[in-house]
């Protein structure tokens, strides 16, 4: 009996061991196969990317870029999977405007903005006068885009743009940006190693996309380079030049937070609210509809046309915004972004 039990134990043990070995082998073989599959897949992506680069280079040659520029450019380009991943995993923004403003414009940023406007006073005054753009808006954009130049992104611009174009979901857009980036490189504004930006290709302290750079960047200090990465004169002039070219009106501010009084017919919101130019009305007309200052008192009766915007809904923050806000929308189409720039500019004026 005891012998039988012993034998039984042995058989069971052997069985267990052989099962173990079998599963280990299975595991190893499947993972080996998986690795084999993965590297085959990787090889095929690599070769597709190489083909894509060759085709891009031909297109660039057709556009007249020299071999000298293209050799430097294409030697630097690598597939950046991180960038494509970042593009696919953009968080859905479900923030309220209140929450957005407190994260985008925290008190420390206001304090820094106030310091920066003093630190660069001489230069900012010069730029303000030349372009007709109030310096607090220049500094507010600078602060919101790159934390006053500190966070510009360190992704190689060319590699990011080509990777995103290759990914294919917005190929036309990123290819256009890529050729604009090649133009920037060929004009010698930046060295290839310093040609960096956000994962999506927004560059320098003003976070211009390459096409915006070509339309708006300025050589503020006259050294022949439009250096939005590290030359304050160029950064401030470029920001101001963007706003000036897009219709900034130095005589006006951007907007104001308002309230809808009880006399405002909430059912007419869809008729009146929104950025469409034909919905702009003078302050008196808004007053007559029941819009008041945020403190509940009457709006000023100045002859300025304004749009009513509700970035969240009627229970959130409500603003009357002027033409300069429409200019900010040319910079970035997000209402939240536009309000955050105006909000920071107002805090700068207040000094805290
Ligand atoms: Ca310069």
Q: What is the pLDDT of residues 281-303, one digit of tens each?
A: 999 999 999 999 999 999 998 99
Q: Judge whether residue 13 has pLDDT over 90.
A: no
C-alpha 64, offset from chain centre:
30
Residues 267-290, mean pLDDT to the nearest whole number: 96
Q: Residue 8 — pLDDT band, cuts 50, 70, 90?
A: very low
Determine the distance separating the centroid of ligand 1 and the alpha carbon of 235, expressed in angstroms: 9
Determine the distance separating the centroid of ligand 1 and the alpha carbon of 34, expressed in angstroms: 52
Determine the distance separating the centroid of ligand 1 and the alpha carbon of 71, expressed in angstroms: 25
Q: Judge whether residue 2 has pLDDT over 50.
A: no
Determine the distance separating the centroid of ligand 1 and the alpha carbon of 218, expressed in angstroms: 7
Q: Residue 42 — pLDDT band, cuts 50, 70, 90?
A: confident
Per-residue model confidence (pLDDT) at position 1: 41
Determine the distance separating the centroid of ligand 1 and the alpha carbon of 238, expressed in angstroms: 10
Q: Judge whether residue 6 has pLDDT over 80.
A: no
Q: Judge whether residue 252 has pLDDT over 60.
A: yes
Determine the distance separating the centroid of ligand 1 and the alpha carbon of 194, expressed in angstroms: 15
Determine the distance separating the centroid of ligand 1 and the alpha carbon of 170, expressed in angstroms: 32
Determine the distance separating the centroid of ligand 1 and the alpha carbon of 228, expressed in angstroms: 8
Determine the distance separating the centroid of ligand 1 and the alpha carbon of 195, expressed in angstroms: 15
Quote the mean pLDDT of the chain: 92
Determine the distance separating the centroid of ligand 1 and the alpha carbon of 227, expressed in angstroms: 5
Q: Judge whether residue 125 has pLDDT over 80.
A: yes
Determine the distance separating the centroid of ligand 1 and the alpha carbon of 185, expressed in angstroms: 14
Per-residue model confidence (pLDDT) at position 305: 97
Per-residue model confidence (pLDDT) at position 138: 98
Determine the distance separating the centroid of ligand 1 and the alpha carbon of 208, expressed in angstroms: 16
List Cα–Cα distances, 344 to 69, 106, 132, 209, in angstroms. Answer: 41, 9, 19, 23
Percent of the chain with pLDDT over 70: 89
Per-residue model confidence (pLDDT) at position 5: 45
Q: Residue 134 — pLDDT band, cuts 50, 70, 90?
A: very high
Determine the distance separating the centroid of ligand 1 and the alpha carbon of 213, expressed in angstroms: 13
DSSP 146-206: HTTTT----EEHHHHHHHHHHH-TTHHHHHHHHHHHHHHHHTTSS-GGG-EE-TT--BTTT
Residues 302-319, mean pLDDT to the nearest whole number: 96
Backbone φ and ψ for 130, nearest 5 degrees, come out as: -65, -40
Q: Judge whether residue 31 has pLDDT over 60.
A: no
Among residues 163, 161, 205, the alpha carbon closest in space to that of 182 is found at 161
What's the DSSP call for residue 90?
Answer: P
Q: Judge whether residue 20 has pLDDT over 70.
A: no
Per-residue model confidence (pLDDT) at position 40: 81
Per-residue model confidence (pLDDT) at position 4: 44
Determine the distance separating the centroid of ligand 1 and the alpha carbon of 69, expressed in angstroms: 21
Determine the distance separating the centroid of ligand 1 and the alpha carbon of 214, expressed in angstroms: 14
Determine the distance separating the centroid of ligand 1 and the alpha carbon of 225, expressed in angstroms: 4
Percent of the chain with pLDDT over 90: 84
Determine the distance separating the centroid of ligand 1 and the alpha carbon of 254, expressed in angstroms: 29
- The token pair at 288 is 């007559």
Determine the distance separating the centroid of ligand 1 and the alpha carbon of 209, expressed in angstroms: 18
Determine the distance separating the centroid of ligand 1 and the alpha carbon of 105, expressed in angstroms: 29
Per-residue model confidence (pLDDT) at position 16: 59
Determine the distance separating the centroid of ligand 1 and the alpha carbon of 133, expressed in angstroms: 20
Under a CB-based contact definition with an 8 Å cutoff, are residues 247 and 323 in contact? yes
DSSP three-state, residue 307: strand
Q: Residue 7 — pLDDT band, cuts 50, 70, 90?
A: very low
Is this model's pTM higher than 0.85 or not? Answer: yes
């Amino acid at each position: 009996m005891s012998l039988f039990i012993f034998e039984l134990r042995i058989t069971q043990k052997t069985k267990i061991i052989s099962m173990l070995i079998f599963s280990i082998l299975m595991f190893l073989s499947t993972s080996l196969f998986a690795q084999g599959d993965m590297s085959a897949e990787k090889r095929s992506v690599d070769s597709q990317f190489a083909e894509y680069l060759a085709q891009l280079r031909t297109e660039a040659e057709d556009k007249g870029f020299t071999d000298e520029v293209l050799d430097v450019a294409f030697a630097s380009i690598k597939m950046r999977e991180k960038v494509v991943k970042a593009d696919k995993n953009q968080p859905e923004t479900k923030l309220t405007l209140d929450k957005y403003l407190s994260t985008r414009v925290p008190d420390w940023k206001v304090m820094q903005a106030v310091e920066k406007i003093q630190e660069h006073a001489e230069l900012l005054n010069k730029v303000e006068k030349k372009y007709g753009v109030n310096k607090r808006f220049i500094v507010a954009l600078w602060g919101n885009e790159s934390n006053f130049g500190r966070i510009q992104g360190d992704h190689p611009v060319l590699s990011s743009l080509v990777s995103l174009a290759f990914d294919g979901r917005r190929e036309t857009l990123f290819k256009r940006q890529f050729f604009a980036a090649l133009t920037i490189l060929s004009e010698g504004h930046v060295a290839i190693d310093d040609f960096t930006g956000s994962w999506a290709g927004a560059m320098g302290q003003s976070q211009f996309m390459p096409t915006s750079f070509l339309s708006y960047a300025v050589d503020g200090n006259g050294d022949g380079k439009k250096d939005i990465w590290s030359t304050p004169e160029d950064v401030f002039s470029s920001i101001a030049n963007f706003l000036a070219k897009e219709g900034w009106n130095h005589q006006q501010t951007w907007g104001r937070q308002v309230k809808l009084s009880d006399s405002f017919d909430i059912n007419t919101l869809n008729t009146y609210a929104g950025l469409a130019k034909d919905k702009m009305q003078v302050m008196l007309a808004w007053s007559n509809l029941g819009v008041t200052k945020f403190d509940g008192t009457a709006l000023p009766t100045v002859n300025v046309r304004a749009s009513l915007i509700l970035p969240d809904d009627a229970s959130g923050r409500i603003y009357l915004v002027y033409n300069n806000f429409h200019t900010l929308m040319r910079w970035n189409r997000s209402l939240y972004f536009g309000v955050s720039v105006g909000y920071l500019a107002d805090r700068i004026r207040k000094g805290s």
